[in-house]
């Protein structure tokens, strides 16, 4: 009996064997059928023997069956082997513009510090772009900005600082906001200039806001955007709508401050202008500078994007060549 099993290697053969022993006409069945010929006193004993044999056979067959099935599956899988180095099937993927990606990073940093993201008009009144920012008519600072005019009074905003004024006029204090958006200046297109670009304005107005808060906030921003090791440096500067005013440099993120071609050997890169909101600016927007103080800053979005992604020509940002866009 055992030897017959060895010769069978197919499942159906196994089934045949099963039938030949255990089927209606099988050998064990016929033994059971011939029980009547066995002496009554022996019957339990023989019955026991037959049942033992049956379960042994069944067990053995089952074992065999499992082994055969296993072998069969393995054989099948072997035949199904694929070349996993063939390319994957992908649906075409879209990409955010590098400006937008950078902006989202900046937004997330400030949202985490409780800032609201707000917007203002791109076509703006002179008052909001200049006068309310302490740049009165005929002020030389107005000329420096190469403004595009629509009418005498309506212009393309040259700075997102105009949004500061709209926010302050709402009279809801405290203010913690950033205002990203397009700005316009009459600069010819070249590798570092564009007549349309983006800024992100920041404004905080509250009681007891200090210059040290400005420094701390912008250091936090720089570290989160460019890495924990980034150092910041504040240099005095002049803006009409802040006093004291500063420019902030960060350690060059390419060389870490050692000096390289990228930072022209200086180790530092100028990144933004900032300062304490000029008390006259607060006054003009109906905020009492004796009670409230604030700070403001303005960052060039393209400037950061170009640095961050090491893009060497600003024109690439507005050409929309997909070979450029798909890298982000």
Partner 1 sequence: MNSSISWTKAYVPDLDCTAQEYMDAMTLSGTKVEGYTELDKNLDKIIVGKINKIEKHPDADKLVICQVQVDEAGTEVQIVTGAANVKEGDKVPVVLDGGHVASSHKDGESENGFKIKKGKLRGVDSFGMMCSIDELGSNTDMYPDAAEDGIYILSDNPEYADAPIGSDAVELLGLHDVVFEYEVTSNRVDCFGQIGIAREVAATFRKDLVLQEVKETGNNEDVNDYVSVEVQAPELCSRYVARVVKNIKLAPSPEWMQRRLASVGIRPINNIVDITNYVMEEYAQPMHAYDLDKLADHKIVVRKAHKDEPFMTLDGQERVLDDTMLVICDGEKPVGVAGIMGGENSKITDDVTTMLFEAATFDGTNIRKSGKKLGMRTDAQAKFEKGLDPNNAIDAMNRACQLIEELGAGEVVGGAVDVYPVKKEPITITYNVEKINALLGTDIDEDTMVAYFEKLDLTVDREKKEVLVPTWRQDLERLADLAEEVARFFGYDNIPMTLPSGSATAGGLSEKMQHENMARDIVEAYGFMEGMTFSFESPKVYDKLLLPADDVLRKSIAIMNPLGEDYSVMRTSAIGGMLISLATNYNRRNQNVRLYELANVYLPKSLPLTELPEEQMQLTLGMYGEGDFFTMKGVVESLMQRMGLKKAAKYDPQAGKSFLHPGRQAKVIYEGCEVAYLGEVHPEVLDNFSIGQKAYIAVVNMKQLSELASFDVKYVGIPKFPAMTRDISLTMKKEVLAGDIEDTIRTKGGKLIESVTLFDIYEGAQLTQGYKSMAYKIVFRAPDRTLKDEEVNKAMDKIIRALEEKEIVLRS
**Near partner 1 in 139-158, by CB under 8 A:** 140-141, 143-144, 148-151, 154, 156
The residue within the footprint of partner 1, chosen from 20, 50, 196, 224 (CB under 8 A), is 196
**Phi, psi values for residue 267, rounded to 5°:** 80, -10
Q: What are phi and psi of 183, to 5 degrees?
A: -135, 165
Cβ–Cβ < 8 Å for 50, 33: no
193 binds partner 1 (CB under 8 A): no
Q: How far is the CB of 306 from partner 1 (least distance, A)?
A: 14
Token digits of residue 309: 């992604």
User: By the 8 A CB rule, do 325 and 95 touch?
Assistant: yes
313, two tokens = 């020509």
Pick 66 or 96: Cβ nearer partner 1: 96
Interacting residue with partner 1 among 10, 43, 73, 326 (CB under 8 A): 326
Smallest distance, Å, CB 253 to partner 1? 20
281-320: which residues touch partner 1 (CB under 8 A)? Answer: 293, 317-320
Site string for partner 1, 5-44 (x = CB under 8 A): ----------------------------------------
User: Does residue 115 belong to the site contacting partner 1 (CB under 8 A)?
Assistant: yes
Measured CA to CA, the distance from residue 202 to residue 189 in angstroms comes to: 27
* Residue 182 contacts partner 1 per CB under 8 A: yes
Mode of pairing for the β-strands spanning 154-156 and 242-251: unpaired
Which of 21, 110, 241, 307 contacts partner 1 by CB under 8 A? 110
Of 77-106, which residues contact partner 1 (CB under 8 A)?
A: 91-97, 99-100, 104
The H-or-E segment that residue 63 falls in is: helix 43-79
Contact call for residue 325 and partner 1 (CB under 8 A): yes
- C-alpha triplet 168, 215, 198: angle, nearest 5°: 55
Interface residue with partner 1 among 14, 250, 276, 296 (CB under 8 A) is 276
Q: CB nearer to partner 1: give 88 or 114.
A: 114
Q: Are strands 268-277 and 123-125 parallel, antiparallel or unpaired?
A: unpaired
| Interface with partner 1, residue 267, by CB under 8 A | no
Q: Please report whether residue 265 would count as binding partner 1 according to CB under 8 A.
A: no
**Cα angle, residue 285 at apex, residues 279 and 290 outer, rounded to 5°:** 40
Provide, rounded to whole angstroms, the least separation between the CB of residue 23 and partner 1. Answer: 43
Bridge partners of 296?
203, 275
Would you state the structure tokens that stand for residue 162, as one six-digit string?
Answer: 């105009």
The site for partner 1, by CB under 8 A, has a size of 83
Contact 259, 250 (CB under 8 A): no
Could you say which residues in the range 198-237 bind partner 1, by CB under 8 A? Answer: 204, 206-213, 215-217, 219-220, 233-237
In angstroms, what is the minimal distance from the CB of 83 to partner 1? 26
At closest approach, how far in Å is the CB of 300 from partner 1? 15
Q: Which of 36, 78, 261, 323 binds partner 1 (CB under 8 A)?
A: 323
Residue 293 CB, shortest distance to partner 1, in Å, is 6
Helices (H), 173-319: 211-226, 279-284, 301-309, 316-319
Asked whether 170 and 203 are in contact (CB, 8 A), the reply is: no
Question: Which of residues 144 and 313 has its CB atom nearest to partner 1 in the complex?
Answer: 144
CA atoms within 13 A of residue 314's CA, in its CB half-sphere: 17
Q: Which is nearer to partner 1, 209 or 271 (CB)?
A: 209
Dihedral of the alpha carbons of 56, 62, 66, 69, in degrees to the nearest 10: 140
């Amino acid at each position: 009996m055992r030897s017959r099993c060895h010769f069978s290697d197919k499942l159906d053969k196994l089934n045949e064997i099963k039938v030949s022993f255990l089927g209606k006409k099988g050998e064990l069945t016929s033994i059971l059928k011939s029980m009547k010929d066995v002496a009554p006193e022996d019957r339990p004993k023989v019955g026991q023997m037959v049942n033992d044999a049956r379960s042994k056979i069944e067990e053995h067959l089952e074992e065999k069956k499992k082994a055969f099935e296993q072998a069969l599956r393995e054989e099948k899988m072997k035949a199904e082997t694929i070349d996993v180095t063939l390319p994957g099937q992908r649906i075409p993927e879209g990409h955010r513009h590098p400006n937008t990606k950078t902006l989202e990073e900046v937004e997330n940093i400030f949202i985490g510090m409780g800032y609201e993201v707000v917007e203002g008009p791109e076509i703006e009144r002179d008052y909001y772009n200049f006068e309310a920012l302490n740049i009165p008519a005929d002020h030389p600072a107005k000329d420096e900005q190469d403004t595009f005019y629509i009418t005498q009074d309506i212009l393309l905003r040259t700075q997102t600082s105009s949004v500061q004024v709209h926010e302050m006029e709402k009279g809801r204090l405290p203010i913690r906001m950033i205002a990203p958006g397009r700005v316009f200046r009459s600069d010819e297109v070249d590798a570092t200039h564009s007549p349309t670009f983006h800024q992100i304005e920041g404004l905080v107005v509250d009681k007891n806001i200090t210059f040290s808060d400005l420094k701390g906030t912008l250091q936090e921003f720089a570290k989160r955007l460019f890495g924990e090791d980034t150092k910041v440096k504040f240099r005095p500067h002049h803006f009409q709508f802040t006093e004291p005013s500063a420019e902030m440099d960060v350690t060059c993120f390419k060389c870490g401050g050692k000096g390289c071609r990228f930072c022209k050997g200086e180790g530092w890169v100028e990144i933004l202008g900032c300062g304490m909101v000029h008390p006259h600016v607060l006054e003009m927007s109906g905020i009492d500078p004796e009670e409230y103080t604030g700070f403001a800053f303005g960052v060039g979005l393209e400037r950061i994007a170009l640095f961050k992604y090491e893009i060497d020509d600003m024109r690439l940002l507005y050409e929309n060549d997909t070979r450029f866009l798909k890298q982000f």
